[in-house]
Homo-oligomer: A and B are copies of this chain.
Amino acid sequence: PGESKAKAIKVAKSTQKLGEDDPRRVIHSLKVGLALTLVSLLYYSRPLYDGFGVAGMWAVITVIVMFEFTLGGTLSKGLNRGFATLLAGALGLGAQHLASLFGRKGQPVVLGILVFLLAAASTFTRFFPRIKARYDYGVVIFILTFSLVSVSGYRVEELLVLAHQRLSTVLIGGATCIVISMFICPVWAGEDLHKLIASNIEELAKYLEGFGGEYFQPVEDGRNVKVSNTDKSFLQGYKNVLNSKSIEESMANFARWEPRHGRFGFRHPWKQYLKVGALSRQCAYQIEALNGYINSDNQARLEFRCKIQEPCTKMSTECGKALKSLASAIKTMTVPSSPNVHVENSKTAVNDFKIALKTVSLEQDQDILAIIPAATVASILIEIVKCVERISESVHE
């Protein structure tokens, strides 16, 4: 019993954390509950086979499959569903009419062949990456509606009544979803993407600002003093950026469906966000390589490190500052101004570093080996400077 109690507490805690991390999740759950209750009661209040009839359950189904976390997702599914249903319904009627020309015996054969061909062709289109990303749901609904309509066996007059019923219930379900998801605390995919890109850049900035202090720790008795009780979380933040590609792409997809809202116009350049995101990932890969050198045993010898400490720390810090002001420029959607200063500063630091290197004396015949790790760090930092410059350019666009 003690064990299961501990487990229950653990689940409760993770639930609470999930809710606190993003309170919109709780609100979203309540919104789905509300939409479903409204639609269910509508369905319940009508006697069966009267008015909407059994088609009423389509309203319930529509709400459940269509209600997404973001408004863009809901709209994208709704539009996909709408177009696919209409197109497939029309084709299905056509197929039925065509099949009926072949007489009682030929009809099932012709229908079977048509369903087979259309289902196989549509399934194949789902392998196209672009269709998969944007219209996957629409294709599924298309196959579904086409097979249901074409093999329904109803006569056309009956079908029209049925289609009328089903369309109106689907519309009710869809409209409920869209209204609730648009007017009660809407979650905009575009805004989320915007924030995600900015916060990713911020994570990179945090790492770079902290890196100098971390790598060139004060040395005592030839060993690094471990400052263990400070918060090192800034060294981990960049790891999320490494795997952000798929989430950024799906958000950009949803964002394209959203109407204008707040500071986001209708033709907001969502593609540019993907570009900035890709560059941020590039930068994160470099940081990942850099990260291997923090706390490596193979610390460079003291004299050399002291020489390069200042320019390297400056490179890293200035890159961090440049990224930070880029992130805040993205957040406030103003034309960034100060990052240029920081980018220039970091370039100056690169030159300082080169000059500093010239003064390094290797006359004492000391090992080149010992300076290699520190040199590598410097070299990767130089690459990061280039990366930051590219990010800065693409944010300006």
- Interface residues, chain A, with chain B CB atoms under 8 Å away: 14-15, 18-19, 25-26, 28-30, 32-34, 36-37, 40-41, 43-45, 48, 54, 57, 60-61, 64-65, 108, 111-112, 115-121, 123-124, 127-128, 140, 143-144, 147-148, 150-151, 153, 242-243, 245-246, 282, 285-286, 288-289, 292, 354, 357-358, 360, 362-363, 367-369, 371-373, 375-376, 378-380, 383
Contacts and interface: CB of A to CB of B under 8 A. Distances in A.
Contacts of A151: 40-41, 43-44, 60
A147 B64 CA distance: 10
Contact of A124 (B29, B64, B118, B128): B29
A7 to B, nearest CB: 14
B61 A108 contact: no
A17 B57 CA distance: 42
B372 A60 contact: no
Contact of A25 (B127, B245, B383): B127
Nearest to A376: B379
29 contacts: A14-B128, A15-B124, A18-B124, A18-B127, A25-B127, A29-B121, A33-B116, A33-B119, A36-B116, A36-B119, A40-B112, A40-B147, A40-B150, A41-B108, A44-B108, A44-B153, A60-B148, A64-B140, A64-B144, A242-B242, A246-B246, A285-B285, A289-B289, A358-B368, A360-B368, A372-B378, A375-B379, A376-B376, A376-B380
Given A29-B120, A57-B148, 20 more contacts: A18-B127, A25-B124, A29-B124, A32-B119, A33-B120, A36-B115, A36-B119, A36-B147, A41-B112, A44-B151, A45-B108, A48-B153, A285-B288, A285-B289, A357-B372, A358-B368, A358-B369, A372-B378, A372-B379, A376-B379
